[in-house]
Amino acid sequence: MKHYSVLKSEALHYLNLKSDGIFVDATLGYGGHSSEILSTLTSGHLYGFDQDEEALAYSKKRLSEIGENFSLIHANFVSLKEELNRLGVTEVDGILFDLGVSSPQIDDSSRGFSFMREEVLDMRMNQSATFDAKQLLNEYSYEKLCEIFFQYGEEPRSKFIAKKIVEQRKKKPFVYTTELVLAIQEAVGANYFYKTHPERNIFQAIRIEVNHELEVLKQVLPDAISLLKSGGRICVITFHSLEDRIVKQIFRTFSEVDPVVKGIPEIPKEYIPKIKLITRKPIEPSSQELEENSRSRSAKLRVIERN
């Protein structure tokens, strides 16, 4: 299985790994980060979350070759706190989030994530989920399509594309990725299409909507912060501006001093911010990593520590 873990050495460095620590990989994937974390643990334990059954099966085999002190949980990371509490875990030393879609998911023609070849429109990260990209394209109203294309894809010509989709599905429902790509091209014209590649934005927007990616990110980060021990860290790797903006805003909110006590010589303990920012500016891939893996070009890593 070909898989490249983006910003791996940087993320593992900032997690402050220790042999007896409790660590969580909230986006297990194919075990790239987790295999490195597990190899450093002796009396510690690793908890890995993923909603992709194929990824879980692959990672279980991979991690079993390293050690036994790990637990894998088939769930979206939005239920991180609930699932860990159910297992008796109320405090952890570090949590890693590597957001977005993995290379194997993109490369697997049965998953419908890629606009580069003909695949059945799907884009579900959790194969047991009932809502997919086909349903979105064939059932969402013109207004709803405009909204998600503009908000989640940040595509300037969202209205033209949504209009074309609504017109076309009246004649024949969308089934394949190539049908969607052609509709996008016809909606915006060849010049704009080949110059700006709006299909990237539209596919991103559909994937985000199908998997509720931004909503679950907003929900999980406060829960993740509450799980950290003093000195514990969270590392978040994002792949587009919408994700990074959410992470930045939530981390800023939890790291700011309450205006009520701001400026006084000694801040009362109950007003001390829950976290501190370890990275004021996001860490980006090195030139070497960009050469090795072009898909890492938009990646950003942000890190916080529990006070």
Determine what percent of the chain is predicted with pLDDT higher than 70. Answer: 93
Q: At 127, is the secondary structure helix, strand, or coil? A: coil
At 101-151, the pLDDT tens digits run: 655 455 455 565 676 778 889 988 887 788 999 999 999 999 999 999 999
- What pLDDT does residue 1 have? 46
CB 36 within 8 A of CB 12: yes
Whether pLDDT at 4 is above 90: no
- What pLDDT does residue 264 have? 77
At 76-98, the pLDDT tens digits run: 999 999 999 999 999 999 999 99
Q: How far is CA 16 from the centre of its chain?
A: 21
Give the whole-angstrom CA distance, residue 246 versus residue 208. Answer: 14
At 279-291, the pLDDT tens digits run: 989 999 888 887 8
Do the domains 8-98+214-306 and 108-211 sit in the same CATH topology, yes or no?
no
Q: Nearest Cα to 236, choosing from 30, 94, 113, 126?
A: 94
- What pLDDT does residue 6 have? 83
Those residues whose C-beta lies under 8 Å from the C-beta of residue 2, and which sit 6 or more positions away, are: 103, 104, 107
- What pLDDT does residue 113 have? 64
| 301 phi and psi angles, rounded to 5 deg | -115, 125
Q: Which CATH architecture has domain 8-98+214-306?
A: 3-Layer(aba) Sandwich (3.40)
- 108-211: CATH number: 1.10.150.170
Largest CA distance in the chain: 70
Burial of 75 per CB tally in 10 Å (0-12, 13-18, 19+): middle
Average pLDDT of span 203-209:
94
Structure tokens at 66: 């390293």
At 236-271, the pLDDT tens digits run: 999 989 999 999 999 999 998 877 777 677 777 777
Mean pLDDT score of the chain? 90
- Which residue type does 73 have? I
Domain boundaries of the chain, sorted by first residue: 8-98+214-306, 108-211
The pTM of the whole model exceeds 0.75:
yes
The enclosing H or E element of 83 equals helix 80-86
- What pLDDT does residue 297 have? 81
- What pLDDT does residue 111 have? 66
Give the whole-angstrom CA distance, residue 303 versus residue 276. Answer: 9
CB 277 within 8 A of CB 251: yes
* Residue listed under structure tokens 């809502």: 131
Whether pLDDT at 100 is above 90: no
Instruction: Quickly list H helices, 154-300.
Output: 158-171, 177-188, 190-196, 198-211, 213-227, 241-255, 287-292
- What pLDDT does residue 5 have? 78
At 150-164, the pLDDT tens digits run: 999 999 999 999 999
Whether pLDDT at 171 is above 70: yes
Angle at CA 18, nearest 5°, toward 234 and 97? 25
Q: Nearest Cα to 307, choosing from 226, 191, 244?
A: 226
